[in-house]
Structure 1
Amino acid sequence: MSTILPNPFIEQRADPFILLHQQHYYFIASVPEYDRLEIRRASSLQGLRDAEAVVVWRKPESGPCSELIWAPELHNINGQWVIYFAAAPTRDIKDGLFQHRMYALVCDDADPLSGQWQPCRRVFTHIDSFSLDATHFVHQGKNWYLWAQKDPTIPGNSNLYLAELLNPWTLKGTPVMLSRPEYEWECAGFSVNEGPAVITHGQRLFVSYSASATDENYCMGLLSIALDAPLLQPEAWHKSARPVFGSSWDNHQYGPGHNCFTQDEEGRDVLVYHARNYTEIEGDPLWDPNRHTRLKYIEWREDGTPDFGVPPADYTNVP
């Protein structure tokens, strides 16, 4: 494939997630209506732009997962297709927060676009509170579940938690908190740690995450840990004191974040994220549809840490 990445990559798709599985790329994201889950598949990364969006699930008219379908991710866990997403029973705000909880959809068929998806299951954690943005990764031979959640005893909207999985919808053991909003850049507008994503390089495992309100203050932070360290020991993790990716006024790119990672056909690491190209939002940013999916190549520094650079301007070629 060419090293030219169009920007935006896919318009009006926030919280993007791209899975590379058995020589196919799969794309899933939040849709502006927050009412359905749709998957695209292509044999190339670029092919996702024009691939058909197949709706695999629509929200019910009522019930615990009938509103505000947010931040889906598609994973293949031990041969089962799994979609993680967050949903709320209403659009009401209670104690300053929406009422999202986390859910899992499972499909045992080979093809997630045409297969039969089982009824959604609630993913229960250690607290019954606002929770969202779950991701999965495999490390040290175990399946891990990483997500954002409110702890009523901790100020702010959400912290990052990690637990091992017993199966795709059941946690094993007691979760641990990896990070909470503490720096000024994590607490602009709202105190938020959310949207975690995992990548390994060299001898370290990295967790990127998003912080602050979802306007131009939105930005990315970074956690890291040695590959052989115990993941459930919070003291083994290192947290960057500064954001690693943020708005670029020169390039008119605002609020980059809620990222994931993938690779192109040549094995180059790619940052997948969303951002707007303006700051003048009418009304609640939640209902502004123009957080577009964007891609950017990742460079790696000599010390093994990722260099995300700055978000490139719209309609430019990204070398």
Structure 2
Amino acid sequence: MSISWTNPLVEQRADPHLSRVDGRYWFTASVPSYDAIEIRSADSIAGLATATPKVIWRKHDSGPMSYHVWAPELHRIAGRWFVYFAASERGDIWKLRMYVLECSGQDPLRDAWVERGQILTPEEGFSLDATPFEHGGRHYLCWAQKSPPTESNLYLAELANPWTLKSAPVCISRPDLAWERIGFHVNEGPAVLKRHGRVFIAYSAAATDANYCMGLLWADEGANLLDRHSWQKSPLPVFRTNEAAGQFGPGHNSFTTTPDGRTDLIVYHARNYSDIVGDPLNDPNRHARVQALAWRADGFPDFGTPVADGLYTL
């Protein structure tokens, strides 16, 4: 039985996070005004396009969490719902830090959300794009943090609880390749996928214009994930601008599956033009898109290229 949806799936929603929990799809992303967190849910991927979004949290008037509310992710951990996001301060708009909300009940769309506070890292600094995952009975957090201040690296640590680090952070990737250093020196937006005996982490690199693209890290599933030597990196981008399809700067992805669980899907944002006036962060037209993720015979993902806008059928 085929399924279909139309790309872009949700317009003007950057940094999309899409998951499937108990037969329903859950979607959240950065809103263009960067001032709130909204979620929506539907039985099908296509249904997300018309699902009514629910604002579950708004920025503070001042102080922490009062500006640049970015890249929320909705996760259910041990039966509880959590949202991970980054935010800065109105008085210091680049003071990005990571925060966690917890739903007080079992219905993320109706029950109240509680602020659990900032995820504190040993080296205080610009940090964002936190994503939690479980592996081998242990819970981990991967995120991006500037150290030194001129580059954004990817870090990994074990969690004591959903908002508290248990172990010292380990840097698993730096923007040391030329394509990761166009405009800015960036590794950010990690997304975890476990398949075929490996733990994969897709991430985004370079400036948030048409140069934005995705790289890939991997480690063997039995390796010590907190040993930086366990991780390898693709020397080339795995997903990048496709001018022929009119898709520019694809990145900040997440992963989900079709309803039957047989096909992996990549969820990402991209623009349908390359020329941007002013700061790309102020251009709202990074739209959320979904397409199939293929697999090679050697067990590695084949991201392919961003598909053109329009009806997409599997």
Q: Same fold (TM over 0.5)?
A: yes
Task: Count how many residue pairs are aligned between Structure 1 and Structure 2.
Answer: 313
The one-letter code sitting in structure 1 at the alignment partner of 2:23 is Q
The one-letter code sitting in structure 2 at the alignment partner of 1:179 is S
Aligned to 1:72: 72
Aligned to 2:233: 239
Cα offset for 1:80? Answer: 1.6
**Which of 249, 263, 283 in structure 1 is aligned with 2:278?**
283
Aligned to 2:192: 198
Matched-pair contact (CA < 8 Å) for 1:299–1:307: yes
Cα offset for 1:50? Answer: 1.0
The one-letter code sitting in structure 2 at the alignment partner of 1:2 is S
Matched, 1:224 2:218: yes
Matched-pair contact (CA < 8 Å) for 2:100–2:116: yes
Q: What SS does the corresponding residue of 1:81 show, helix, strand or coil?
A: strand
The one-letter code sitting in structure 2 at the alignment partner of 1:160 is L
Q: What SS does the corresponding residue of 2:224 show, helix, strand or coil?
A: coil
Aligned to 1:113: 109
Aligned to 1:20: 20
Q: What SS does the corresponding residue of 2:170 show, helix, strand or coil?
A: strand
Please, what TM-score do these two structures have when normalized by structure 1? Answer: 0.95
**Which of 179, 183, 198 in structure 1 is aligned with 2:177?**
183
Matched-pair contact (CA < 8 Å) for 1:5–1:296: no
Cα offset for 1:261? Answer: 0.1
Q: What SS does the corresponding residue of 1:250 show, helix, strand or coil?
A: helix
Counterpart CA distance in 2 for 1:135 and 1:211 is 16
Matched-pair contact (CA < 8 Å) for 2:18–2:25: yes
Which stretch of the first structure deviates more once superposed, 116-125 or 253-262? 116-125
- What's the CA shift string for 1:153-207, capped at 9, x where partnerless? xx63310000111011100010100000000100000000000000011111100
Counterpart CA distance in 1 for 2:207 and 2:95 is 17
**Which of 142, 157, 165 in structure 1 is aligned with 2:151?**
157
The one-letter code sitting in structure 2 at the alignment partner of 1:67 is Y
Cα offset for 1:318? Answer: 4.9
Cα offset for 1:92? Answer: 4.3
Alpha-carbon spacing, 1:92–1:159, altered in 2? closer, same or farther (3 Å) = same
Counterpart CA distance in 2 for 1:313 and 1:46 is 17
Matched-pair contact (CA < 8 Å) for 1:312–1:318: no
Aligned to 2:308: 313
- What's the CA shift string for 1:66-97, capped at 9, x where partnerless? 0010000001111221100000012746xxxx
The one-letter code sitting in structure 2 at the alignment partner of 1:284 is D
Please, what TM-score do these two structures have when normalized by structure 2? Answer: 0.97
The one-letter code sitting in structure 2 at the alignment partner of 1:257 is G
Matched-pair contact (CA < 8 Å) for 2:199–2:220: yes
Matched-pair contact (CA < 8 Å) for 1:195–1:210: yes
Matched-pair contact (CA < 8 Å) for 2:5–2:45: no
Matched, 1:99 2:95: yes
Matched, 1:144 2:108: no
Q: What SS does the corresponding residue of 1:298 show, helix, strand or coil?
A: strand
Counterpart CA distance in 2 for 1:219 and 1:119 is 32
Cα offset for 1:108? Answer: 3.1
Matched, 1:254 2:248: yes
Q: What SS does the corresponding residue of 1:166 show, helix, strand or coil?
A: strand
Q: What SS does the corresponding residue of 2:113 show, helix, strand or coil?
A: coil
Counterpart CA distance in 1 for 2:214 and 2:85 is 20
Q: Which runs of 5+ in 1 are unaligned?
A: none
Cα offset for 1:316? Answer: 4.5
Counterpart CA distance in 2 for 1:54 and 1:122 is 23
Matched, 1:270 2:265: yes
Aligned to 2:90: 90
Identity of aligned residues (%): 53
Matched-pair contact (CA < 8 Å) for 1:81–1:107: yes
Q: Which runs of 5+ in 2 are unaligned?
A: none
Matched, 1:124 2:124: no
Q: What SS does the corresponding residue of 1:47 show, helix, strand or coil?
A: helix
Matched-pair contact (CA < 8 Å) for 1:156–1:181: no
Counterpart CA distance in 2 for 1:121 and 1:150 is 20
- What's the CA shift string for 1:212-256, capped at 9, x where partnerless? 000000000000011111100111111100000000111111000
Cα offset for 1:266? Answer: 2.1
Q: Post-superposition, which runs of at least 4 consecutive aligned residues in structure 1 deviate over 6 A?
A: none
Give the number of the structure whose residues are more often strand, by fraction. Answer: 2
The one-letter code sitting in structure 1 at the alignment partner of 2:231 is W
